[in-house]
């Protein structure tokens, strides 16, 4: 099936067919990743550079493994937050790396829009690994694959996204994806953590968790993004947990077979009760991590196929 995007910058720019193409290919990588021999050759001979201007554990590890399993030469650069000087520095760094002829550039940056800007300047395929509060496309894709596997479908589901929506790129990307696939989305959280212009998102908004969770199929929890808050958005952590933390009592309002998700890293006892996070009958948090590697392999495989086709065309001109 044709997959035409040159970069993976956000779910906003993908069609439902693009999304399904990535997820279907990811399924084959889930199988490969469960074998002892995990090598695939889709990126053989290619160079992948991971440029992370913000801390990351699972996303960086996941992209690194994904590239290595597909046979790429992978280099990861952790650029400390303190060394960011915005704008020019980012582009300068990118241009320097671009001169080394990478094929794939995976970028995480604290400023919204930074990765789109960078993609305009380089010759390779760029994957957004999270930019500010804008988008985190591979997270939404791995969430979608997890949901599809648990629920058997990715449409007409009631999905609650709970907590710090305003500062969350995970929420934004998931809202785009779940809307494109025709699901019903509820956003639950304090008014102070709802983005402005929320009415444009095609969602229902709830402040009361007990009301919002009623009969949902999927409960997606979010971390409080303290690093993106410039003031007090919540009364106290204790109060927040009392009203918006996921407890067994609140979860009982959802459907009996509702799944619980969290992108990690989790603050146990702040946004989610530790026992629920560990409950293998409800929580799919570990599956999300597993799906993350497969989805990143599929995304890079498809972008690499596009690169090869483009290069062949150029060579024949």
Residue selected from 29, 263, 283, 287 as contacting ligand NCD according to rule CB under 6 A: 263
Which residues contact residue 13 at a Cβ distance below 8 angstroms, ignoring those fewer than 6 apart?
A: 5
Q: Could you give the CA distance from residue 24 to residue 45 in angstroms, rounded to a whole number?
A: 24
3-state secondary structure of 119: helix
Among 47, 48, 50, 139, binds ligand NCD (CB under 6 A): 139
Number of residues that bind ligand NCD (CB under 6 A): 10
- In the 8-state DSSP scheme, what is residue 182? T
Least distance CB 94 / ligand NCD (angstroms) = 20
From edge to edge, which strands make up the β-sheet containing 47-52? 73-78, 47-52, 104-109, 125-131
Site for ligand NCD in 168-197 (CB under 6 A): 169-170
Q: Which of 6, 86, 153, 308 is catalytic?
A: 86
Question: Is 21 a residue of the active site?
Answer: no
Residue 160's beta-bridge partner residues? 186, 219
Q: Which of 12, 27, 38, 58 binds ligand NCD (CB under 6 A)?
A: 58
Q: Which one, of 138, 133, 207, lies nearest residue 167 by Cα?
A: 133
Residue of 7, 47, 59, 186 with catalytic role? 59
Show the tokens assigned to 205.
């908004």
Shortest distance, CB of residue 224 to ligand NCD, whole angstroms? 8
Q: Is 58 a catalytic residue?
A: yes
Q: List the strands of the sheet with 218-221, edge to edge.
A: 204-206, 184-188, 158-162, 218-221, 259-261
**Active site (annotated) includes residue 136:** yes
Strands (E), the chain: 47-52, 73-78, 104-109, 125-131, 158-162, 184-188, 204-206, 218-221, 259-261
User: Which one, of 228, 263, 296, lies nearest residue 50 by Cα?
Assistant: 296
Nearest residue to ligand NCD by CB is 223
Active site residue 310: no
Would you count residue 136 as binding ligand NCD (CB under 6 A)? Answer: yes
Q: Which residue in the list 7, 47, 69, 108 is annotated as catalytic?
A: 108
* Binding of residue 132 to ligand NCD (CB under 6 A): no
Least CB distance from residue 178 to ligand NCD, whole Å? 17
Give 46 or 137: the residue with its C-beta nearer to ligand NCD.
Answer: 137
59 binding ligand NCD? (CB under 6 A): yes
How far apart are the C-alpha atoms of 10 and 7, rounded to whole Å?
Answer: 9
Residues 215-234: x/- map of binding to ligand NCD (CB under 6 A)? --------x-----------
Q: Which of the residues are catalytic?
A: 58-59, 86, 108, 136
Residues near ligand NCD (CB under 6 A): 58-59, 130, 136, 139, 169-170, 223, 263-264
């Amino acid at each position: 099936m044709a997959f035409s995007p040159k970069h993976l910058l956000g779910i906003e720019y993908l069609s439902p067919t693009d999304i399904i193409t990535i997820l279907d290919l990811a399924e084959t990588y889930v199988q490969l990743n469960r074998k002892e021999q995990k090598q695939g050759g889709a990126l053989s001979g290619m160079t992948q550079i991971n440029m992370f201007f913000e801390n990351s554990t699972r996303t960086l590890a996941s992209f690194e493994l994904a590239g290595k399993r597909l046979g790429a030469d992978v280099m990861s650069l952790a650029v400390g937050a303190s060394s960011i000087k915005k704008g020019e520095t980012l582009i300068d760094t990118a241009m320097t790396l671009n001169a080394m002829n990478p094929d794939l550039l995976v970028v995480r940056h604290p400023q919204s829009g930074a990765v789109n800007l960078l993609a305009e300047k380089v010759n390779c395929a760029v994957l957004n690994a999270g930019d500010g509060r804008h988008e985190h496309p591979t997270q939404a894709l791995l969430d979608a694959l997890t949901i599809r596997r648990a629920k058997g479908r990715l449409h007409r589901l009631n999905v609650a996204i709970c907590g710090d929506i305003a500062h969350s790129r995970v929420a934004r990307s998931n809202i785009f994806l779940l809307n494109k696939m025709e699901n019903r989305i509820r956003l639950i959280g304090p008014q102070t953590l709802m983005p402005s212009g929320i009415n444009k998102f095609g969602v229902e908004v709830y402040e009361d968790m007990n009301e919002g969770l009623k009969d949902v199929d999927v409960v997606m929890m979010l971390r409080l993004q303290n690093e993106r808050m410039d003031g007090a958005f919540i009364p106290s952590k204790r109060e927040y947990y009392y009203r918006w933390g996921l407890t067994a009592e609140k979860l009982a309002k959802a459907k009996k077979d509702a799944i619980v998700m969290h992108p990690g890293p989790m603050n146990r006892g702040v946004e989610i009760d530790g026992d629920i996070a560990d409950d293998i009958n409800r929580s799919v948090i570990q599956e999300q991590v597993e799906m993350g590697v497969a989805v990143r392999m599929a995304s890079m495989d498809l972008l690499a196929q596009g690169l090869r086709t483009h290069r062949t065309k150029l060579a024949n001109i």
